Structure 1
C-alpha cells in the first residue's frame, strides 16, 4: 500500500507490517506496563508509540540507502516497510565498487547514529519513565539493526559491502555477488545454533524463536536471488538478438489463422538454411526448438517453421500486431480457418522494443524494467524478429525448469 513520498521517494507499507505492530503492541506493551506500573491500556499505548518510533528508525535507515544512491545518479523506485524491517528498490545496480560500498554502508551508519543518540537520551532521562523506556528500546533496536545488517552476507548491507570489496579486487561483479550470496547462506545456517545458545542462556524467550527462525529462512532465500543473478550475469555475453529472436513472418490483416500458419510453415521449409530471407517475408535467426543456443549455421527450415512469429501488417505493409502464440494455440483447429489472425494478436504499440544490437546487460535491464512475454526486435524502423522471454530464459538459465 502506497502511503506517500519522503524526499520524493515513494513509500509503501507491506501488509505484514500489521503483524509486526500487533506483536510489539501486545508483547512489548505488557512488558512496559509491568515495568512502569501502567494500566493495560497505558502499556499498549507505550507499545504503539514504540511501533511508530521503530518504523521511523527503519525508514531513516532505508532513506540512508536511497539518498546516497540518488547522490550517485541511481534512481530509487521506492522504499517498502515490512515485517522484518524494510528494503529500498533501485532502478539499476551501482556503477562501481566504491558507489556500491557507500550505498550499502549508508543504512547501517544511520542506524548507528540513531542508536548513539538514543543511548545518550536514555542516560539523560529519569529512570523508569515512559520516555526513558522508549529511548532504551530505540537504542537497543537501532544498535541491533546496525550490527546485524553489517554482517558480511547478502542480502544484508554487509553482504553488499563484501561484494563491493571483492568486486574491486577481482574486477568481476558477478563472481563477487555469488561469493557474497553464499556467505549469506552460511550466515543463515549459522543462525540456528546461535539462536539455540541464546535461548539456552535465557537471552531469547520462547516467543522469539519463531521470529528468529523466520529471519534465518529469509536470509537463506534472500541470498539465493543474488546467487542466481550472478550465474545469469555470466551468460549475458551469449545474448545475440540477431540469432535469439524468432523469425517474423508477415501476413496481411484479416488473414485466417490457419492460412497464416500454413504460409509461415511453407515459407520456412522452402527457405535456404544459410540464406537471408526477404525482408517482407521471413527473417531468420531463431533459437532452436529445443531451447538451446543456436549453432553457427543457423536453425534449419523445420526449426524456423516451428518458431516463426506471425507479424500482422496493414494494407501498406506496416506491422500493426504480433500474434500471441498461446492465444493462437488455444484456438481449436476447426475454428482456425474462420478466425482472423487479428483476433489473437497484440498491437505492436503494446510490446516493448529492443534494438537488434542491444548487448546482454542492456537486454536484461530492459526486461526487468518492462516485463513482457514478447519483445519487438528492431533495426531502425524495421521489425526484424520477435524475442520471446522464454527463449531468453532458456539461454540464461539452461538448467532451470520452466513452464512453456
Structure 2
C-alpha cells in the first residue's frame, strides 16, 4: 500500500518510533547515548579470575593474599573495559552506517551489541564486523607498549603484558571466520557480496563457525594433554567457549534457512487500512463502519477530539463483548493505546521486521514513513505468513 496522508492523521509525537531499550542485565549507564548492561554471569567470571589470578600473584610475587586479590580484581576491571571498548567499536561504526544501536551487554564470555536492524549492504556488514577486533588489537598494542616502557619484572609490567596478551588473543580469536564471531560476520559479508544472497552467507558462516568450535575444543584438549596448558580452569573455560560457538553457529544456520523462506513483503505491504472513530462510538457502530469500508480487512482506529490517533480496537477484547451489549459499549473501553514500541517504519522487511515485533508478536503496530501513515500491521498476519515456511528443523562476540 502506498503512503498517503488521507484517513487518520499522523500519530502524535508520543507515538513516534523510538529505539527500544533492552531490559536484561544490570544497567551501568550510557556511553554516547548507548545503554550499557552487565549480565549477572559476568560476576561469576569476575570472581573466578580474581581468585585464580590473585593466587598466582600471591605465590609468584610473594604478596599478601589481599593484595593479590586486589590486583586480580583490577585485572578483571581492565578486561571488562577492554570488552566494552570492543563493543563500542561495533556500536560507533553501526551508527555511522545509519543503523541504530539498542544497547551493549557485557557477559561472562564477552559481550554483544544489539542493533536495530541488519546491515543493508555487505560492505557495511564487513565494516561493522571488523571494527571490534580492530579496537581490541589497538588496545593490545597500547598495553604492549606500556609493558615495554615500564620497569621490567615489576607488577605493573606483568599487568600490562597480561592485558596486552588478552586483548590480542581476543582480537585474533574473534577474527576467525565463523559465526557467531566477528570474523564469521565478515565471511558472511564476503559470501553475500559474491553471491548476492545474505542468507547463503549466513549459512556458510554458520557451518564455518561449527568447524571453529570443534577446532577450538580439539586444540585445548591436545594442549592440555601435552602439558602446554596447566590447570583445569583454562580448559573448562575454553571448552565452554567452544560450546557457545557451536550453539551460536547452529542458530545462525537456522536463521539463514528461516530468513530465506520469508515472504518479500515490507511492513507497508502488510499494513491494513484503518477506519477512524471517536472513543465514544458504540462498538456495534464501529463494526458496521468497518464492514462498509471498501478497503480489505480494516482495523478500527480511535482518535481524540483533536483528531490525534490514540490507539486501535483490540480484537480479542472486542470479541469478548456479548453481541447484545455491543450497541452500548464504547470502543474506548476495548482500545489498546499506541506506544513507541508499537510503531514500525514502512520499509522494514524480512528478519528486521520479525525482530521489530518479537516482544509482542500478536500485537497491532502503526506503520509509518515520516509523517505518512500506511495503516496497521497485525502481528498475527505476519506470523501466519512465516510459520508455514519455517523449517521443521544478538551480534555476539566471545
| TM-score normalised to structure 1 length | 0.73
Q: From 49, 56, 60, give the equivalent of 1:35.
A: 60
Mapped contact 2:188–2:201 kept (Cα < 8 A): yes
Q: Which moved more, 1:143-152 or 1:236-245?
A: 236-245
The equivalent of 1:390 in structure 2 is: 380
Q: For structure 1, which runs of at least 5 residues remain unmatched after alignment?
A: 268-276, 286-307
Say which one has the larger Rg. 1
The equivalent of 1:360 in structure 2 is: 349
How far is 1:42 from its partner? Answer: 0.9
Count of equivalent residues: 365
CA distance in 1, matches of 2:307, 2:78: 63
Change (3 A) 1:87 1:315: closer
Q: From 207, 228, 231, give the equivalent of 1:205.
A: 231
How far is 1:353 from its partner? Answer: 5.1
Note if 1:111 corresponds to 2:136: yes
CA distance in 2, matches of 1:314, 1:69: 39
Q: From 90, 100, 118, give the equivalent of 1:65.
A: 90
Q: Which moved more, 1:133-142 or 1:4-13?
A: 4-13
Alpha-carbon deviations, 1:26-56, whole Å to 9, x = none? 1111111111111100110110121122122
Mapped contact 1:115–1:138 kept (Cα < 8 A): yes
Change (3 A) 1:43 1:169: same
- Where 1:398 maps in the other structure, the secondary structure is helix
CA distance in 1, matches of 2:371, 2:99: 30
The equivalent of 1:295 in structure 2 is: none
- Where 1:375 maps in the other structure, the secondary structure is strand
The equivalent of 2:10 in structure 1 is: none
- Where 2:365 maps in the other structure, the secondary structure is strand
How far is 1:145 from its partner? Answer: 0.5
Change (3 A) 1:2 1:245: same
The equivalent of 2:212 in structure 1 is: 187
Change (3 A) 1:139 1:183: same
The equivalent of 2:16 in structure 1 is: none
How far is 1:179 from its partner? Answer: 1.6
CA distance in 2, matches of 1:379, 1:140: 48
**1:74-223 matches, cutoff 5 A:** 74-123=99-148, 125-202=150-227, 203=229, 205-223=231-249
CA distance in 2, matches of 1:178, 1:380: 35
Q: For structure 2, which runs of at least 5 residues remain unmatched after alignment?
A: 1-25, 392-398
Q: Which moved more, 1:98-107 or 1:231-240?
A: 231-240
The equivalent of 2:314 in structure 1 is: 324
Change (3 A) 1:7 1:185: same
Mapped contact 2:366–2:377 kept (Cα < 8 A): yes
Change (3 A) 1:204 1:67: farther
The equivalent of 2:20 in structure 1 is: none
CA distance in 2, matches of 1:48, 1:14: 17
- Where 2:112 maps in the other structure, the secondary structure is strand
CA distance in 2, matches of 1:377, 1:97: 27
- Where 1:154 maps in the other structure, the secondary structure is coil
Mapped contact 2:282–2:330 kept (Cα < 8 A): yes
Higher relative contact order (CA 8 A, sep 6+): 2
Change (3 A) 1:40 1:383: closer
CA distance in 1, matches of 2:352, 2:225: 51
Q: Which moved more, 1:119-128 or 1:374-383?
A: 374-383
Note if 1:238 corresponds to 2:250: no
Change (3 A) 1:263 1:185: farther
CA distance in 1, matches of 2:165, 2:138: 12
The equivalent of 1:288 in structure 2 is: none
- Where 2:232 maps in the other structure, the secondary structure is coil
Change (3 A) 1:201 1:382: closer
Mapped contact 2:184–2:208 kept (Cα < 8 A): yes
Note if 1:278 corresponds to 2:293: yes
How far is 1:159 from its partner? Answer: 0.5
Change (3 A) 1:235 1:320: same
CA distance in 1, matches of 2:41, 2:71: 21
Change (3 A) 1:336 1:187: farther
Q: Which moved more, 1:96-105 or 1:357-366?
A: 357-366
Q: Which moved more, 1:59-68 or 1:323-332?
A: 323-332
CA distance in 2, matches of 1:317, 1:78: 35
